[in-house]
Amino acid sequence: MTKPRDKRVPRRTGSLIWRQSGWHARFWTVVDGEPMRVIRPLGTTLKPVAAKKLARLVAEASQGVQGAAESARAETVAEAGRRILEGRDVRDRGNDLIRFRLHVAPHIGPLLVTEVKPAHVRGALEALASLGRSRATIVHVRRVMSVVFDTLWRDELIAENPVSRVRAPRGKVDTRERAVLIDAELARYLAWAHPDDRHKTGVLQRQTMACVSRMFGGVRTGDLHALEWSALETEAGKFSFGWAPRKKTARPQLLEVPEMLRPILRDWWERHGRPTSGLVFPSLTGEHAGVGSKGGVSHAGAMRRDLRRAFGVDAWDGIQWHEARKLTPREVELFEGTTHVKPVDFHSWRRAFAQALADSGSTAQQAQQLTGHASLSAHQRYLVNTSRMRQLPAGALPDLTVRAWPVPQLESRFHETASFWRAPKDSNLRPSDSKSDALSS
């Protein structure tokens, strides 16, 4: 009796064949239930790209995928975006993935990369503009899309980069200054504790993060999320120095911890069992609560809510919060914003740190180093709200003291002109005549 033929695909890796039109793949697959060796064009002249395509074809063929056309189908934008962005070794990779997931994938994620046209890209960006997103956000999203499609174009997976034909819409441009808490307001915030035990830890964490950002190099929110106990001198609770992560510039910076900040850090450290490793400010909710890092979260709304309660705008009746009084003009600036001022956000602590350095007399170079700014121009954007930028120096004012004039005739003319403007209404002199007499020379 003849043994039935084994129709399984042989375990082979396939091979690449060069032809005039580019690289081709030769591999085994199943066609109409029969194993068959086929040759398919890969649409590229780059051997590394062709090798990746061949490996994918062979893997899919070994799983019984029928038809080379289905095996060689293009990726969707969602698939390509995740693959490319996760594989990039850049400092802002996490933020780019968040931007792609929130602002790109919902609009063009299901499309095949070969189907995307400039109109699709323009539509995704205009959707952001219609939602009132800032121009900075729109520019960042366009950059992320350009990174994805430029990589696909360089790998010869698409004919052109559709993003290159699209300009970022203007979006919402807000040129108002950002409100910054003064020292007395910070002290009032730190003295407040949430009356509900369930929320005390969350409030205390935000207060501690605010102190670290305000006094430890003006670290950004992303740096706070990445800060670990191993980066601080936890031995015996000294906290005399620490490494600021500086994720944006990828340059960790060794800084002295001010004495004012040390007891605040020590208290937070002792509350968590004096750890020597792990995150200083981990996520407090979700499946990774207590150990996982925070991601894609904003503390601005929660902090403004805390401030309203700390300032007595909202009152606790034992069950819920309710508005106890109207906002003062200053509180309107902080919590809601005005025509000239944007409401306070968590990045305001970094602004306060930079502005305090300028007001203390630090040079621009010293302040730039302490804030970790990559350039002096980046640092100067934080200084528009300093007291030195608001007060005109006395030496810049004109000297209008008459006695200081050295020419007696000028002093005489000044008094004559002044007496004319003080002349009584029933004077015999007509205003025009008196003015011409007083000012003639």
The span from the CA of 209 to the CA of 222, in Å, is 11
Q: Does the pLDDT of residue 379 top 80, yes or no?
A: no
Taking the alpha carbons at both ends of the chain, their separation in whole angstroms is 135
Q: Does the pLDDT of residue 248 top 70, yes or no?
A: yes
- State residue 362's pLDDT score: 81
- State residue 424's pLDDT score: 54
Lowest-pLDDT range of 149-153, 159-163, 335-339, 390-394: 390-394
Lowest-pLDDT range of 24-33, 176-185, 247-256: 24-33
The span from the CA of 182 to the CA of 356, in Å, is 10
206 is written with which tokens?
């935000």
Q: Does the pLDDT of residue 184 top 80, yes or no?
A: yes
Q: Mean pLDDT over all residues of the chain? A: 82
Residues found in the chain = 441
Which pTM was predicted?
A: 0.63
- State residue 66's pLDDT score: 44
Q: Which amino acid is at 135?
A: R
CB 379 within 8 A of CB 215: no
